[in-house]
Structure 1
């Protein structure tokens, strides 16, 4: 009896799977989107069984060689279209019908909640409206002081290793600096992570990011129940680290809310739109903005605020860490470019390496601008982004069915020889001499869901990199990078440089 029930249920699943996939497979075929033949129920999940975040780059290359710049795969009952052709990016990223994040992002929900990164519809519009004025340049320039102070701490600590021989992995060094910066700008608190390298929050972010990135590609970990059954120790670590981060954020929010209520009671609080005598708005942490904001006339709850603060803490330090570290790695291996940068810095800032940099001076570092652009092209901090079609939609002439997961492979697209000459070479001048399709170079995404913090990130990158170059000569020491397509771009071998104290002649 049991065997008959099992066979009946299994037959039902096979029929359901065939019917479920039939229409989409037909539309994919008509649209000229190829892909590997899959197994019933499992789809193509077995093709990824031996892959990990380091081998994913090579896997994507092999798929492009076989199927072209756009292909499809089935992960159990879910379809996914992979795109690494910039000519599709404009139609996808600009579309109002492809504004939702794909289902891989759901793995971030236990950590980030339904904040600005993951939310959609009216909630996303309301939250985006709150934050947009906060990223106005006049507000951001007031954070330059924090960028400068924290990068000064980093430089002082690096002198102990700046002997011209020691290999330094820049990622963990910059990570603590960026964490200090985002904690002060997002939450208004000094956590002094650089003085405490074992700061639990930083370790938790690294661990959770790696676990979630692995879950995206591992069939047995992709869904919660199989994950808890087949990898219970990893599931426990994930829950423990997320709880640690939430406890930290909750504590800060409660303390800031009490302080806000006290300032309102004693009359010392100022409205968000109050400026000083010079007409400049006071510097406020993003948390302060949230505490004083309303949606439909109602204040945000602590839970609402936590999901936004957690989102900014994640997106605001891990991504800039990747961008700064990889750009330093490239500068160290191109001495002629480093010399041009140093000459520009001396011309703009002068020879006092301890002088605090100003926003105006950062804006005048034009060569540093294109060096960072080229660094982000070669090593985009977010190597993969995802969207979901809410309805059948035509993208660049191809009809894509509703509820299709679209994965944009930025890392591959930003090295496309059809759009960039010598695409694997570090040539900052290409941004002066070549006409570059704006949708071929989208390290911060584009369209309505572009990165709201990109101006913040670029200012932080310019401030931190210029500080390092004022104090040190970057040397090409250590192993070459081995890209890992984690939630953000990392390197399995570290992002290595050597340092030597800068000599001003």
Structure 2
């Protein structure tokens, strides 16, 4: 008995020493960061432990508006600091400071808040770091070759036709919110191109999988904004942990079933040159490419590897593109002169024909591409993203210690008047070749920049061109909201608080 008590006492002593050591390390690191970052301009008075938490709004829309107002107030500040509790966040929104981080192979790690994506996405291309990210990026880059993307054009045309038919029922019926229509179209496109699976989201928006995709995105965004739910036990017992797990099961079950289905099809239907021209081959998808992909040692990707990447492209590949198209529709509907220029270009390319859009057509839609890029400047689909500083460094002359979270605010960066005079004005001509020559490439980063830029950006631009061209070939669009009524919500994706309200009329040529 005495021996047992002695062991318990010894264990308690060891535990107390470990806790004391951990506490010491945490306090030491906090004091070091607090001291080194003190010279950096901050959003106000920061208090130990609480930081600036008492000054910050808690609602998503209000918090985003507040942060953007800080960047306006401190437009000329070299850097801007905020402490969220004991964690320092450095806001970057000048091209020279952004380049320091994005163009450096050392600072490749995503910030802490990305860990909440791991249960759904694992450590795929979006969330992985180090050697895993490098090898995975090298492995996946060939799957986004232009010749492969061209195979996806047929899917985009088919789903654009479904969307146009749905929008046609709204003609002449007054204002309506087009946000969900376009988002479901984008979801249909990514499902078929990524997984080779039709989910008919435009026809059945109430499907279990569709609901789970949207709900999971909301749950992750909500958790990222609420530090008290960051510990797993707090999220599970006091937050939305049970609903999160329910959605996760639906998403992973669906993806795994599709992977098994495509794998079985690949085994039972080996393509050969002897197939007749009339034989209809199963349409190739991103998933099929992953199933055949091998690394330098001849190893295939595991089922978990494949699921991580398919889930990643399902998450990244529809919401962002859908948001970009919706913002572009609003801006075109609010600027009829620019809309007419786009339609004039479309008429020059297609005439009165209603034929599908080809890759050659896409190359000719240069002004439409300028419109898309300018819409992404004003309303970047991903309004901010975060990195972790991986070693002590200097940014714009200030010492920034290892471990600081850097928030790159694309929304504010794109409004730098040095590069974009009158930045709130919608001027697609900014992106004509003669106007982009010599411009700092880090002043405009809708798809990030540097080594970790978006691997799917050509896919996204192709999809936006096809959908917007299809809509504007058929309809005249009129926006029913003023800019100040949109109230952008800066969450995982930039969305308008009340949607995008428009009216449509059939085009008269």
Which residue is equivalent to 2:67? 60
Which residue is equivalent to 2:305? 304
TM-score by length of structure 1 reads 0.89
1:20-419 superposed matches below 5 A: 20-30=29-39, 32-48=40-56, 50-64=57-71, 68=77, 70-163=79-172, 165-231=173-239, 234-263=240-269, 268-269=270-271, 284-295=284-295, 296-352=297-353, 354-419=354-419
Counterpart CA distance in 2 for 1:251 and 1:13 is 44
Contact 1:481 1:496 in 2 (8 A): no
Q: In structure 2, do the counterparts of structure 1 residues 378 and 65 end up closer, same or farther at CA, with 3 Å as the change threshold?
A: closer
Gaps of 5+ in 2: 1-12
Give 1:302 shift.
1.3
Deviation per residue, 1:299-331 (Å, 9 max, x gap): 222111111000001111111000011101110
Which residue is equivalent to 1:462? 465
In terms of mean alpha carbon deviation, does 290-299 or 244-253 score higher? Answer: 290-299
Question: How many residue pairs end up in the alignment?
Answer: 480
TM-score by length of structure 2 reads 0.88
Give 1:378 shift.
0.5
Counterpart CA distance in 2 for 1:289 and 1:10 is 49
In terms of mean alpha carbon deviation, does 154-163 or 454-463 score higher? Answer: 154-163
Question: How well do the aligned residues superpose, as a CA RMSD in angstroms?
Answer: 2.6
Contact 2:382 2:494 in 1 (8 A): yes
Gaps of 5+ in 1: none
The secondary structure found in structure 2 opposite 1:419 is coil
Give 1:20 shift.
2.2
Counterpart CA distance in 1 for 2:176 and 2:465 is 20
Q: In structure 2, do the counterparts of structure 1 residues 150 and 167 end up closer, same or farther at CA, with 3 Å as the change threshold?
A: same
The secondary structure found in structure 2 opposite 1:55 is helix
Deviation per residue, 1:232-255 (Å, 9 max, x gap): xx2222221222111111110111
The secondary structure found in structure 2 opposite 1:195 is coil
Counterpart CA distance in 2 for 1:500 and 1:444 is 33
Contact 2:78 2:396 in 1 (8 A): no
Contact 1:97 1:393 in 2 (8 A): no
The secondary structure found in structure 1 opposite 2:502 is strand
Give 1:470 shift.
0.7
